[in-house]
Chains A and B, each alone.
Chain A
Amino acid sequence: MRRFEYFEPATLGEAAALLERYQGRAQPLAGGTDLLVELKEQLRRADCVVNLKRIPGIGGLSFDARAGLRIGALATAREVETSPFVLQHYASLAQAARELGSIQVRNRATIIGNICRASPSADTLPPLIADGAQATIHGAAGERRVALETFFTGPGRTVLQPGELVTELLVPAPGPRTGKVYIKHGRRKAMELATVGVAVTLSDTQVRIVLGAVAPTPIRAALAERLLAGKKPDAALLERAAQAAADESRPISNVRASAEYRREMVRVLTRRALERALEAVR
């Protein structure tokens, strides 16, 4: 790694001031599992690294039956994957967290780091969007809240301004009879980046389908959702919705898969995810 200055701010205000002073040359550090790799491989430059882990109050993972789930900025993927209330009420998120890297990585990697890194293939993004998560953003001007669905602007790009930090994610409590499924498709079982990821959250009143790794950001399959809205789907309708999702996806070809293959997998996995989610609420 190249030489950098290192800070351990004690408050969010100090952290924000450092990030703003150094503009793009400062990098916040939470889990570090992406940051340190990118610094070593010189994909990212840092004159200054701001470790957030000594800031009180921005960690933690909690659940309230009315308010829902709160994921603090320092909550790790492993904490989420093993949390009894995440497993019970946010099954698709638990599944996605479990498929991220290795246990060693998940003991360090944070969910909010996964969000802020904004990789189109990041596993935890589709289930969080499908569950209607909101991000709380801290900046010099105070706090603002953004629907996670509108947080991503491109590969590696988000609505965050210099000096802003995501301090928590709030995920609404599930309504009665809600089915949640995340299916990751890759070339191997573990230590893999998703070729396609599909998250479905459905109840009697609504259905959300979110696709990962098939567009510059995770995307809602809005046409497919509309086809299913308010209906009790039979096999033919599920197939039409799955095809609509495939048509809505905008995959690229790269070393992991061709665009054609990805699009076909969107169709197959959307259908499978819908079937499993329906199964879960039957």
Chain B
Amino acid sequence: MKVSLTLNGEPRQIEVEPYRSLLDMLRNEAGLTGTKKGCDVGDCGACTVLVDGKPLNSCLMLGVEAQGCEVLTIEGIQPAPDRLHPLQESFMRLGGAQCGFCTPGMIMMALALLEENPHPTEDEIRFGIAGNICRCTGYTRIVEAIQACVKK
């Protein structure tokens, strides 16, 4: 089936079988491997992307369901090719990324969280990223990296 969508701000047409997830479509058909496949069943959050502004597990959505949608992945958040998003800077600077596997999903979730609630408390941040598993950092530095991006 042919799927027409806006992917990271650009109109795209992608051919995909109806039984492939959005995650597989992004990685295998669109070549965007920044979005990670961890558990593939909605438990780990590594595959988090924004669809029409809402964070979701791309492993739990069919690729064909993205017809007519706006999909934003980690590849689409930089303001310019040579500049990083403040969350990316912050995760690097404050040690929010170690092995890096959860980082794209974590940053996409943080992006959605700050969009919805520009001044979250620590509890609200922890509640927001409850669906993103990190096995390296113990979360403290991730929370600090997100807090550093809260507008004063």
Interface residues of A (CB under 8 A from B): 1-6, 29, 32-33, 36-37, 40-41, 49, 51, 53, 78, 101-105, 107-108, 189-191
Contact = CB atoms under 8 A, between A and B. Distances in A.
Contact of B61 (A6, A103, A108): A108
Interface in B47-81: 48, 54-57, 59-62, 64-65
A221 to B, nearest CB: 30
A6 B57 contact: no
Nearest to B128: A103
B38 to A, nearest CB: 12
A41 B60 CA distance: 13
Given A33-B60, A37-B60, A51-B65, A105 B42 contact: yes
B104 interface: no
Q: Main secondary structure on chain A at its contact with chain B? A: loop
B70 to A, nearest CB: 14
A102 B20 contact: no
Nearest to B48: A104
11 contacts: A1-B21, A6-B18, A6-B62, A29-B62, A32-B60, A33-B42, A103-B112, A104-B57, A105-B56, A107-B54, A108-B60
Given A33-B57, A36-B21, A108-B61, 11 more contacts: A1-B19, A1-B21, A3-B17, A3-B19, A33-B42, A36-B42, A78-B54, A102-B42, A103-B55, A103-B131, A108-B60
Interface string B6-20: 000000000001111
Contacts of B18: 4-6, 49
B99 interface: no
Contacts of A105: 42, 56-57, 60, 131
Nearest to A105: B42
B100 to A, nearest CB: 19
Contacts of A107: 54-56
A108 B54 CA distance: 9
B45 interface: yes
Contacts of B48: 104
A5 B1 CA distance: 11
Given A6-B19, A103-B55, A107-B55, A36 B60 contact: yes
B116 to A, nearest CB: 9
A104 B19 contact: no
B127 A104 contact: no
Contacts of A104: 42, 45, 48, 55-57, 109, 131
Contact of B130 (A2, A6, A103): A103
A123 B26 CA distance: 32
Contacts of A3: 17, 19
Interface string B115-131: 00000000000011011
A102 B60 contact: no
B61 A1 contact: no
A32 B65 CA distance: 11
Contacts of A49: 18-19, 62
Given A3-B19, A107-B55, A108-B56, A36 B131 contact: no
B1 A6 contact: yes
Contacts of B1: 6
Interface string B123-148: 00001101110000000000000000
A102 B17 CA distance: 27
Contacts of A101: 42, 131
A99 to B, nearest CB: 10
Nearest to A2: B19
Nearest to A102: B131
Given A32-B62, A190-B130, A191-B131, A102 B41 contact: no
Nearest to B51: A107
Leading 10 A-B pairs by shortest Cβ distance: A102-B131, A6-B18, A190-B130, A37-B41, A1-B19, A107-B54, A104-B57, A107-B56, A104-B131, A104-B56
